[in-house]
Amino acid sequence: MNITGDIWLPGHSEYDTQRRAINPALDPRPSAVVEACGVADVQAVVRWARDEELSLAIQSTGHGTHVAARGGVLLKTSRMATVLVDPERRVARVGAGATWGQVLAAAAPFGLAPLSGSSPTVGVAGYTLGGGVGWLSRRHGFAADSMLRAAMVTADGELVIADHDQEPDLFWALRGGGGNFGVVTGLELELFPVGQVYAGTSYFDFERAPETLARYSEWIDEAPDELSTAVLLMQMPETPDVPQRVRGRRVLAIRAMYAGDAAEAERALAPLRAAAGPALVEGFSSVAYADARMGGTPPRRLELLNGMPDALIDPLVSAVEDERVSTIELRHWGGAMANGDGPVGHRSAPLSLIADTVDAALSDALQPWATGGSFLNFLSDTTRTATAYTPENYARLRELKAEWDPDNFFSFGHNIRPATHAVDTTGTSTRERMVGSVLGR
């Protein structure tokens, strides 16, 4: 195999560095780790793995890795991290290995912002292909909705371009279908005119949690799309980075981002503040979007909820009060997230609930109000991949999988298996496609 990148084999010190994912519980041990430096390298690795009948796993930053790669080849795209911003078109051209921090830094001087997530170290490609819900999503939609074009290496090593005009069905599938159809080597993403935001997390007395949750269930119907919020019930750790006043105690928290000025944000937040009472620690401030650090809750348990009934309040409060769960995050969806094309998410869900611990009693309490759906970026259980989609979208994804990867070569992680009846019997090994400009090259 002739590539410009590096190949790391077991026994080399760099192998142990490169094989790791973010999750320390995973212990991947591929037969080889290959760092690609460009599209040609990716094509060479895909063809080599197929010819040698080796399994293939793809990883950029490792944030979305839920299964340890054992044997086969681990293809790393982290070196393909170019970011180019066209301020006139409000577009970012992003390589497969780029992180959100790099896109934020490149877009901010022009007063523009991507639909990034909570952490600047997360990879753009995996986040976007999995849907991507961030703090601008109620105003502008999922990150997948901002995708304008994608370059992808197919299972037979071809490079194709997918957008609204070229391969539109594949383009639809990539906006939320994960890495099931090929190795995405580059993306074009829409940017948005967002400079300053009013954002942060403020902490309140835990005793006000029932009243605040009850008010939140009503208030979300009137919240403006410019405002994204979450209400959290938390057991704070006793560590030096936690403010002294809330260190080691249970708290109610309100996390919010408003794409506008502070006065408008505070007017919108006033009903929640009234329910929550005086803040123990004020965390809201006007900052540049690129500098906002919103934090996140490890999604050990995710449910999409049809609503927030009063009957659910006591189980949520008691789960944290009894120390069975240390953090519960109830987050408002809706707004622009309810619109758009692509299979991403369950767009009609008004709320998501994330718990950092799996608790049987809490699970039972949630069942009557849960939609049964999930969200790919927050889903660590790869046996539940189908729940990230509506039945109609999942069926269509399986048809497209059969067209683009009938042998299920790209099966690592959240795998969508090809529909068994959609088999190409023409006898051709590849499809002829018109390829225009090549992203990431």
Sketch the domain layout of the chain as residue ranges. 6-76, 83-193, 197-386
Dist. CA 55–CA 70, nearest whole Å: 9
Amino acid at position 393, single letter = N
Would 6-76 and 197-386 be classified into the same CATH topology?
no
Dist. CA 165–CA 296, nearest whole Å: 36
Dist. CA 374–CA 369, nearest whole Å: 13
Q: What is the pLDDT of residue 433?
A: 34
| pLDDT score of 91 more than 60 | yes
pLDDT in tens, 310-345: 999 999 999 999 999 999 999 999 999 999 889 997
Amino acid at position 284, single letter = F
Pairing of strands 56-59, 73-76: parallel
pLDDT in tens, 199-243: 999 999 999 999 999 999 999 999 999 999 999 999 999 999 999
Query: pLDDT class for 62, splitting at 50, 70, 90?
Result: confident
Q: What is the pLDDT of residue 118?
A: 87
Region 342-351 average pLDDT? 93
- Contact 440/151 with Cβ under 8 angstroms? yes
Q: What is the pLDDT of residue 421?
A: 62
Confirm or reject CATH 3.40.462.20 for domain 197-386, answering yes or no: yes
Burial of 258 (0-12, 13-18, 19+ CB in 10 A): buried
Query: pLDDT class for 430, splitting at 50, 70, 90?
Result: very low
| pLDDT score of 138 more than 90 | yes
- Contact 332/269 with Cβ under 8 angstroms? no
Q: Which fold has domain 83-193?
A: 3.30.465
Q: State residue 41 phi and psi, 5-degree precision.
A: -65, -45
Q: What is the pLDDT of residue 437?
A: 36
Q: Structure tokens of 325?
A: 């769960």
CA atoms within 13 A on the CB side of 410: 30
pTM recorded for the entire structure: 0.92
Dist. CA 72–CA 118, nearest whole Å: 32
Query: pLDDT class for 177, splitting at 50, 70, 90?
Result: very high
Region 60-78 average pLDDT? 90
Per DSSP, the residues of 67-97 read: S--BSSEEEE-TT---EEEETTTTEEEEETT
Q: State residue 372 phi and psi, 5-degree precision.
A: 90, -10
Residue range 6-76, CATH number: 3.30.43.10
Query: pLDDT class for 431, splitting at 50, 70, 90?
Result: very low
Backbone conformation region of residue 72, classed left if phi is above 0, alpha if psi is from -120 to 50, else beta: left
| pLDDT score of 363 more than 80 | yes
pLDDT in tens, 4-54: 999 999 999 999 999 998 888 889 999 999 999 999 999 999 999 999 999
Residue 298 CA: distances (Å) to CA of 81, 142, 304, 360: 26, 19, 16, 18
pLDDT in tens, 286-316: 999 999 988 878 778 899 999 999 999 999 9
Dist. CA 36–CA 43, nearest whole Å: 9
